[in-house]
Amino acid sequence: MKKYGDNLFQIGEAAKILGVTRKAILVYEEMGLLTPAVKDKDSGFRYYSADNLAQIRSIRSLQTLGLSLKEVAEYYYDTENIDAHLQRLLELRAGLDRNIQTLQTRAVRQGDLTVHSTALPRQVCFCRRYQCRDTAEAAVNLRSTYIAAARTGLMSKTLRFFTMRMTPDPNVLDLMCCIPVEEHFDGPERMEFAETSALCVYYRGPYEGIGDAVRALAVYVQEHGVQTTGPFRSIYLEGPPNRGENSGDYITQVSVPVKDLRGEQR
């Protein structure tokens, strides 16, 4: 058993899982973009949590868009110039529409439950189902699923992880935790999701309030006679890895698959 338990990753493991170099991880630390969960004072060895791995993925995603590490730091910590950062991404928009949409969601304000049309991608996921007492237990189970998916060595480096509400009652946390993995993953936890039209709400705030966004979306679906084709999903766009304990700035895309909406504007 590892000195600090099985839920932490050594730097070599983290680098291999995420497809980055050890040097890149150390540079992220030097830039103040990443802090290891544990740094052993005696050996100097670093150990990384699931949140650390998610943060590294987020940094790499922004670099892939064309942002420098200095710009990545500004993206995370400069809340006064969001428009300028958005413009920078718009200049790089060819082939990056999905990533640009993610940045645009940062402008959503608390209490804004506007319904949007969107599309959910085809993906293969590592999935585990849990009956959770509360949001804190749900977070523990999601992190546990993330770690198990990471251990396969096949976790997707681009697609977002999410949970599905397996019952229609927004007060019940019967959740399927879904971590996107590579197409050829064939374990018992494999679930395949087709590309689909969807309606969504970009919810800004702590996870305890996601039920409000689910209710708002459910009311919209009912009032407009929209045919749903699957459970409600909570897709985690901005959370603890890069927002720390500032839960008021967490952004979650609450979505529901629906019958084809092409040609409709909402």
Contacts for 139 with CB less than 8 Å, ≥ 6 apart: 207
Provide the H-helix boundaries in the chain. 11-18, 22-30, 50-65, 69-77, 82-90, 97-104, 135-151, 210-223, 240-243
User: How much of the chain exceeds pLDDT 70, in percent?
Assistant: 86
Question: Two tokens at 46?
Answer: 């670093």
Question: Two tokens at 31?
Answer: 């830039």
pLDDT at 1 over 60: no
DSSP per-residue string spanning 6-57: TT-EEHHHHHHHHT--HHHHHHHHHTTS---SEE-TTT--EEE-HHHHHHHH
Q: Which amino acid is at 18?
A: L
Which pLDDT score is estimated for 6?
81
Question: Two tokens at 1?
Answer: 């058993």
Give the least confident one: 11-20, 45-54, 128-137, 241-250. 241-250
Render pLDDT for 8-34 as a digit per residue (tens, 0 to 9): 999 999 999 999 999 999 999 999 999
Mean pLDDT of the region 43-53: 93
Domains of the chain: 9-107 (1.10.1660.10), 117-257 (3.20.80.10)
Mean pLDDT of the region 62-68: 83
Render pLDDT for 138-189 as a digit per residue (tens, 0 to 9): 999 999 999 999 999 999 988 899 999 999 888 899 999 999 999 999 999 9
Question: How many angstroms separate the CA atoms of 46 and 107, rounded?
Answer: 35
CB of 34 within 8 A of CB of 60?
A: no
Render pLDDT for 242-259 as a digit per residue (tens, 0 to 9): 555 778 888 999 999 999
Contacts for 131 with CB less than 8 Å, ≥ 6 apart: 173, 174
User: How much of the chain exceeds pLDDT 90, in percent?
Assistant: 64
Render pLDDT for 199-258 as a digit per residue (tens, 0 to 9): 999 999 999 999 999 999 999 999 999 999 999 999 998 887 655 577 888 899 999 999
Q: What is the mean pLDDT of the chain?
A: 87
